[in-house]
A and B are shown apart, each in its own frame.
Chain A
Amino acid sequence: MAYRGRHINPRKFERGQIKILLILLPLALFMAMPIVFIISHAFKPMEELFAFPPRFFVNNPTLDNFTKLIKFSRSAGIPLTRYLFNSLIVTVLTVAMSLLLTTCAAFAFSKIKFRGRALMLQINQIAIMFVATAVLIPRYMVISRTGLIDTVLAHVLPLVAMPVALFLVKQFVDQVPDSLIEAAHLDGATDLQVYWKIVLPIIRPAVATAMVLVFQQVWTNLETSSYFTNDESMKTLTFYMNTLVNASNGVAGQGVAAAASLIMFIPNLILFIICQNAVMNTMANSGIK
């Protein structure tokens, strides 16, 4: 049989795909295993956590671990709802600010000519490789000097500027035809109107992608709570969940810790599933040229 070419993006199942599935399926199974395990662990009742030999799947799922998790927080003095509230405020504020600032900057970098643009873009591109943990100490100094310790902004501001998000959004704005923008200018639209009414609606997929990225950063961030906040009541859910995970050395605590890990992981997954088409659409334009 002659080779027909074009196996990328097949429309229907062919025999040749079986080989690939034979490699991919076991691998996917292997990669999914830890996540399946943590889900099943979180729902295990006490006797199954203690079971010997240890079991992978849960037999009689219960919500015990989740109720225990709430009880723990009651005895700790600060209610779980307070941490949850902090996390929600911090997450919403960070994502909103980041998206606004990032899309504005991306619009300007892509569609407005101004002096210093190339240099600023290049600095941002280098900063994609920025390793936040590496400058924790100077960051702490900046935050304490500006008096942000123990404020909501200590959680928010360090995560607002995300170079890789700006880069991806800017690549996407590049796809917006210049003619569209020129036409709007001829009709008397200001830059602000062009940004709001023309560019933003077109770059929605990139905005969704930036949202996924920023959300992942802020939702699971431990540093801002551990280092930039002293006041327990200003710390986030991530921090609290992490103390639970670390405190639970005994087998009994394992179930609670698994429940805590699951609670932190699920929102990430759901947001990605909702936005995945937009993300893939954006990634197609992600190339560094």
Chain B
Amino acid sequence: MAEVIKRRGTAGKRERSNLSGYLFTAPYALIFLVFILVPVLLAVILSFTNFNAIEWPEWVGFLNYITILTSDEVFMQYVLPNTVIYAVVVGIGGYILSFLLAWMLCNLTRGVRTVLALIIYSPSLTAGVAMTVLWKVIFSGDQTGLLNSWLMSLGIIDEPIVWLVNTSYLLPIVIIIGLWSSMGIGFLAMIAGIANSDESLYEAGAIDGISNRFQEMIYITIPQMKPQMLFAAVMAVVNAFQNGMISALLTGNPSPGYAAQLIVNHIEDYGFLRYEMGYAATVSVVLLLIVQIFSRAANRLLTEKD
């Protein structure tokens, strides 16, 4: 008790700052709690139930988790592989691409860099904007489709390809669109990280025998921008897993033959088409866990080398 009083005595100000700290954070924390934390916790609880949105949820224990692992054929055969492929190409591929693009941009003069960066960034602004019509015109299945018409006039194909129905083209199309729109805020962080790196180190590096741009990138640029690279990695992971809109808008949900079904589409399929909310919640929890694991992995990978 005496100790407590003594602490208070030396830190009368801390007492006040405790209070004002809570006052300043409370509004944000409250909204965060109600609209982010509570829904996540509810999803975890629902994942252990059978819930059809009308009757009171029925507790089923781990049944949903067992189902997802053992008998959800669509999930194991299509959704999971699709999601992994999409995440690897758009997440990892997009991440590497965004670094290379940012690095190249930073080797250009300011004016050119700004214009090119804007062009490369702007597709990510279409996320959420229904650009369906655009893709439908480009990938239209008859000769009026832009891509078909181009390929035919170049003599590459004779017959129009039914892009959005043919199951072997669906996932690649969704991936290309995903990649196209993936140069978002992480990409901007990379540019900023490179552009603000310490210029004197480059001169020192040149004296120490660095002989080309590539060595400069590996030995001087990257070590300096680890924090930005980590931020961009987290953004890449989130981007890779939360995007289901492209495939849903392009081909409907579920997509033909589940060819472009991603995990987010699977959640919507069960939650809002079949009203199996308990099972949908299970898939959500699995998704949130996967995202966490991947971000941790990225974190480990990028901070270990120090």
Contact = CB atoms under 8 A, between A and B. Distances in A.
Nearest to B18: A114
A283 B188 contact: yes
B130 A105 contact: no
B42 A135 contact: yes
B157 interface: no
A276 B225 CA distance: 20
B32 A124 contact: yes
Nearest to A104: B24
Nearest to A264: B129
Interface string B166-185: 00000000000000100101
A258 B238 contact: no
Nearest to A125: B234
B35 A5 contact: no
Given A104-B27, A133-B267, A265-B125, A287 B228 contact: yes
B91 interface: no
B206 A248 contact: no
Contacts of B202: 5-8
B129 A288 contact: no
B213 A117 contact: no
Interface in B77-131: 101, 104-110, 112, 114, 116, 118-123, 125-131
Contact of B128 (A114, A222, A248): A222
A130 B29 contact: no
B71 interface: no
Interface in B27-58: 27-29, 31-32, 34-43, 46
Contacts of B238: 128-129, 131
Interface string A128-151: 111111111111011000100000
B221 interface: yes
Contact of A129 (B109, B125, B291): B291
Nearest to A139: B39
B28 A34 contact: no
B68 interface: no
B222 interface: no
B253 interface: no
A260 B132 CA distance: 11
Nearest to B230: A288
Interface string B208-235: 0011110010000100011110110011
27 contacts: A3-B210, A5-B202, A7-B107, A8-B197, A8-B221, A20-B107, A34-B134, A37-B134, A37-B138, A41-B133, A56-B146, A129-B288, A131-B241, A137-B43, A138-B38, A139-B39, A157-B35, A158-B35, A241-B130, A254-B133, A258-B134, A265-B125, A283-B185, A283-B189, A283-B192, A284-B192, A287-B227
Interface of B: 14, 17-22, 24-25, 27-29, 31-32, 34-43, 46, 101, 104-110, 112, 114, 116, 118-123, 125-138, 143-146, 149, 153, 180, 183, 185, 188-189, 191-197, 199, 202-203, 205-207, 210-213, 216, 221, 225-228, 230-231, 234-235, 237-238, 241-242, 244, 249, 264, 267-268, 271-272, 277, 280-281, 284, 287-288, 291-292, 295, 299
Interface of A: 3-13, 16-17, 20-21, 23-25, 27-28, 31-32, 34-35, 37-38, 41, 52-54, 56, 100-102, 104-105, 107-109, 112-115, 117, 120, 123-124, 126-139, 141-142, 146, 157-158, 160-161, 163-164, 166, 191, 195, 213, 216-217, 220-222, 238, 241-242, 245-246, 248, 251, 254, 257-258, 260-261, 264-265, 268-269, 272-273, 276, 279-284, 286-289
